[in-house]
């Protein structure tokens, strides 16, 4: 999948090459409006936590780092993952 501000393209075994126009600005206006409304809902009622709140986002990022490390070391990792120093260098070397 390749995404740009004005178009997208992808190649899959099932569908082959596909592409099309994309109006990111039009989509972003809707997305930003929805995000703002969700934040207001959260401020009004703390039980309506937005799914992209910092604690959740950090947990998901930690999961991705663990997946990357597992992929380059072929090891099963425990979560939460404590990335080793030099993880970016390890990824650069392997990839």
pLDDT along the chain (95 residues), means of 10: 75 91 82 88 89 90 95 94 93 88
Comparing CA positions, the residue from 69, 93, 94, 92 lying closest to residue 80 is 69
pTM of the entire predicted model: 0.59
Q: What is the pLDDT of residue 27?
A: 78
Q: What is the pLDDT of residue 4?
A: 67
Peptide bond into 80 cis (omega under 30): yes
Integer Cα distance of 57 and 64 in angstroms: 11
Comparing CA positions, the residue from 92, 93, 91 lying closest to residue 70 is 91
């Amino acid at each position: 999948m390749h995404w740009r501000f004005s178009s997208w393209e992808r190649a899959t075994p099932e569908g082959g090459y596909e592409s099309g126009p994309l109006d990111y600005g039009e989509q972003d206006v809707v997305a930003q409006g929805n995000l703002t409304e969700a934040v207001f809902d959260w401020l009004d009622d703390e039980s309506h936590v937005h799914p992209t709140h910092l604690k959740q986002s950090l947990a998901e990022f930690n999961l991705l780092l663990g997946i990357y490390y597992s992929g380059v070391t072929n090891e099963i990792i425990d979560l939460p993952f404590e990335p080793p120093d030099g993880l970016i260098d390890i990824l650069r070397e392997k990839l």
